[in-house]
Structure 1
Amino acid sequence: MPRQPVYEQVIDDVTASIRSGQLKPGDKLPSIAELCAQYDASATPIRYALRILDERGWIETHQGKGSFVTEHPPA
């Protein structure tokens, strides 16, 4: 079975962590550099994953501050 793309893995992991309550509204996600190290990936797929999570309403990204779980993530 082929490995899923890194960006999909990040999206799945973050949404699962939010759904399980491991990440709560207002929690800060790891930095792009930390996520790159965690997934052994370049910044490009990590940024793409964060953008998709932002567009879907799971997180909010604040320039220079980082990415945070939204107050009301999707059910």
Structure 2
Amino acid sequence: MGIDFQPDKPIYQQLIDRLAGEIIRGLRKPGDKLPSVREYAVETGVNANTIQRVYRKMEQMNIAESRRGQGTFVTEDTGKLHELREKMKETYIHSFVQDMSDLGFTLEEMSEGLAHYQEGEQDD
């Protein structure tokens, strides 16, 4: 199957972001087992060594943990998962504000645009 990856960001980082997003959205819950390295490599169309790196980095971030002979699991530390959620929120907000500022928009224009966007979403 595979995923369409962005050329300007390392694949392993895109996979970490993807899994972190699934955790934040509740698609992967605390204590859930992640796919085996081989399964996830096939699912994503990525080399198994890259998946091994993804899981190792997620362990270093304390959002996943390896259990010998059992696999890799989403951490059960809800405090760490809350930190992950807040960090990702800040990252996306910073990126949005930076991109919009680069286009010449003020914070007030961004706020107005977001309010208008939200109103449109409620009409759907």
| TM-score (norm: length of structure 1) | 0.88
Cα distance, 1:51 vs structure 2: 0.5
Compute the displacement of 1:3 (Å). Answer: 5.1
Which one has the largest radius of gyration?
2
Higher helix share: 2
Equivalent residue number for residue 74 of structure 2: 69
Query: What is the number of equivalent residue pairs in this alignment?
Result: 75
Name the structure 1 match of 2:7: 2
Paired-residue identity, %: 36
Q: Which runs of 5+ in 1 are unaligned?
A: none
Alpha-carbon RMSD:
1.4
Aligned to 1:33: 38
Paired amino acid for 1:10: L
Match of 2:47 among 42, 47, 70: 42
Question: What is the CA–CA distance in structure 2 between the aligned matches of 1:3 and 1:32, rounded to whole Å?
Answer: 24
Bigger strand fraction: 1
CA contact under 8 A between 1:6 and 1:39: conserved in structure 2? no
More RCO (CA 8 Å, sep 6+): 1
Query: Which letter maps to 1:35?
Result: Y
> Moved runs in structure 1, 4+ residues, more than 3 A?
none
